[in-house]
Structure 1
Amino acid sequence: YGELFPWPSATCTNQVRNYYVDWRMFRDVKRRKMAYEYADERLRVNALRKNIILPKELREVADKEIAAFPVDSCPVRIRNRCVLTSRPRGVKRRWRLSRIVFRHLADNNQMSGIQRAMW
């Protein structure tokens, strides 16, 4: 038995099929990667678009360049989600947890340095 399973937890492990909680979180992660990848280029082209000193033709070219970028490269499409439940609303940004999960973990003393208000 020891040769087959050298560590005791090998018999009772669960298979982790996906790294992300659901497809919404996976989609958001893809958007974050895309926004990070195109951030520098997008910043420069937007600066050209919004510069009123430049000729109108040049700004129109910059408009077309921005339109040619992938839609998911826009940082506005990124949504903060809870890392445990993928809930999009009521997320405590500092801990990246939804208010429901945050309260549950705080009530059960599972968050270091966090406790319920007592007076």
Structure 2
Amino acid sequence: MSLISGLSKATCGFLRTGTETIFGLQQVRNKWTNWHMLKDYKRRMCVKEHAADRLRLVAIKRNDILPFELREAAADELHNNFPRDSSRVRCRERCMITSRPRGCVKRFRVSRIMFRHFADYNLMAGMQRAMW
């Protein structure tokens, strides 16, 4: 009898309804603050994937010694064969907590607002408000 009651308790998780799915899996918040952050992450992965090839082609394109036709072919290949997001310029520094795109303190990867909040409440090692 204890085996049957144990099974019923175990299967009970699969039958819950409400905010959970039918299979008992609760909704889990993903690690992205918002969709802007996810988009920036995808761009960074694209940059990482195409970095070596892009660097090679950009070096050929900017080389003054090579013939013009070869440089033009490299520029064409850069323009036509790579996605736009493979360019490093399209990545944006964002706050890791709020995903704010402006006013980020690069060293800590947080926005100025969060930086000040953490410094005020002594949550950042080595930071102290200026006093004079």
Letter in 2 for 1:107: D
Letter in 2 for 1:103: R
- Identical amino acids, percent of aligned pairs: 55
**Residue 108 (structure 1) aligned to one of 118, 121, 126:** 121
5+ residue gaps, structure 2: 1-8, 10-25
**1:65 and 2:77 are equivalent in the alignment:** yes
Please tell me whether Structure 1 or Structure 2 has the larger radius of gyration of its CA atoms. Answer: 2
What SS is found at the alignment partner of 2:41?
Answer: helix
1:82 paired residue number: 95
5+ residue gaps, structure 1: 5-13
Tell me the CA shift for residue 16 of structure 1.
3.5
With CA pairs under 8 Å and 6+ residues apart, which has the higher RCO, 1 or 2?
1
- Counting only pairs closer than 5 Å after superposition, residues 29-48 of structure 1 correspond to structure 2 as 29-48=41-60
| Corresponding residue pairs, total | 107
**Residue 37 (structure 2) aligned to one of 18, 25, 35:** 25
1:94 paired residue number: 107
Query: Per-residue displacement from partner, 1:51-105 (whole Å, max 9, x unpaired)?
Result: 1221111111101110121110000001000000000000000000000010011
TM-score (structure 1 length as normaliser): 0.84
What SS is found at the alignment partner of 1:72?
Answer: helix
Query: 4+ residue stretches of structure 1 with deviation over 4 A?
Result: none
Give the distance between the partners of 1:47 and 1:104, measured in 2 at CA. Answer: 44
Give the distance between the partners of 1:94 and 1:16, measured in 2 at CA. Answer: 30
RMSD: 1.6
TM-score (structure 2 length as normaliser): 0.76
